[in-house]
Amino acid sequence: MRVLIPGIAGGIARKLALRLHEAGHQVAGVDIRPWEEARELGIEVFRGDVRKRAAEDVFRRWRPEAVVHMATVTAFTVPGAERGRINLDGTKAVFDHCAAHGVKHVLFVGRHTFYGAAPDSPLYHSDDEPPRALESIPELADLVAADLYAATALWRLPKVTTAILRLPYTLGQPGTGTLASFLKGRRVPLVLGYDPLFHVLQEEDVVAALMLALQKELRGIFNVAGPPPIPLSVIVRETGRMGVPLPAPVLRMLLGRGGFPKLSVGALDHLRFPIVVDNRRFLEATGFEYQYSVADILRLYRESAPVPRG
């Protein structure tokens, strides 16, 4: 199978590309970021923006059969309006090209934060739930919009088998990603009086889940999760960090100062309320079994991102 991965230079995308290549698939990618060693590894990377004309040429000339769209970004990596353009316009471009150039299968790799964090939400979000509490976390709006737009392909593009996958936070080795960045420092802020559950998944398990989704030619919307969720305080403790519980108004003032990570004010809700997903539909469709327990994941993270000294 010929698999094209927009956003291939990201950590998980690289692992997926290598795994697909090892499994005998032809793999290429599009990214504005470099991946110098890719060619030596037998993977073709086209440098460029997925929204630009050159990217369409890749679809036209390379003729992928499957596309794994991973070229979306979070507020942690790209601030402001540009993030919205990458996430929304980029997703539209990918689906337009898939429809125009005969791609049979598309995976949209979304995030479980789609559902939002709110006190009156169900603890386990089913795949069919709408996003909530967007007004409190506006930084999620463009990712949610991209996810919803991708889902329109399910009826707009009946010839393209589309799967929307909502993945939890990745953690472990090599210690990158939204949650990993949040945990980087010695002290990790917590909201006093709250301790939300968090889902974590090791990168190797993420790759395994994506491989299964491709292999099973999934169609529809699927929550992906591994081990059951655990309280944020356990994650902080087991990764060797020191949790600093502060009242929400105090924490709001301290974000980005005194060694605390820079977070949006809206993201504080996520430090109070859980975002946990019901992954039964994905398990039934793919038979996915995670390999890394929570203890494994936290140990790997602690080893790969040790507590900063001093």
Q: Which residues bind another protein (CB under 8 A)?
A: 119-120, 122-124, 126, 191-195, 197, 227-231, 234, 238, 247-248, 272-274, 278, 293-295
Q: Which is nearer to another protein, 110 or 229 (CB)?
A: 229
Count the alpha carbons within 13 Å of 33 in the hemisphere toward its beta carbon. Answer: 14
Q: Which is nearer to another protein, 79 or 228 (CB)?
A: 228
- In the complex, the smallest distance separating the C-beta of residue 280 from another protein, rounded to whole angstroms, is 10
Q: Which is nearer to another protein, 228 or 256 (CB)?
A: 228
Q: Which is nearer to another protein, 95 or 292 (CB)?
A: 292
- In the complex, the smallest distance separating the C-beta of residue 274 from another protein, rounded to whole angstroms, is 7
- In the complex, the smallest distance separating the C-beta of residue 128 from another protein, rounded to whole angstroms, is 11
Q: Which is nearer to another protein, 6 or 274 (CB)?
A: 274
- In the complex, the smallest distance separating the C-beta of residue 54 from another protein, rounded to whole angstroms, is 46
Q: Which is nearer to another protein, 12 or 183 (CB)?
A: 183
- In the complex, the smallest distance separating the C-beta of residue 310 from another protein, rounded to whole angstroms, is 29
- In the complex, the smallest distance separating the C-beta of residue 73 from another protein, rounded to whole angstroms, is 30
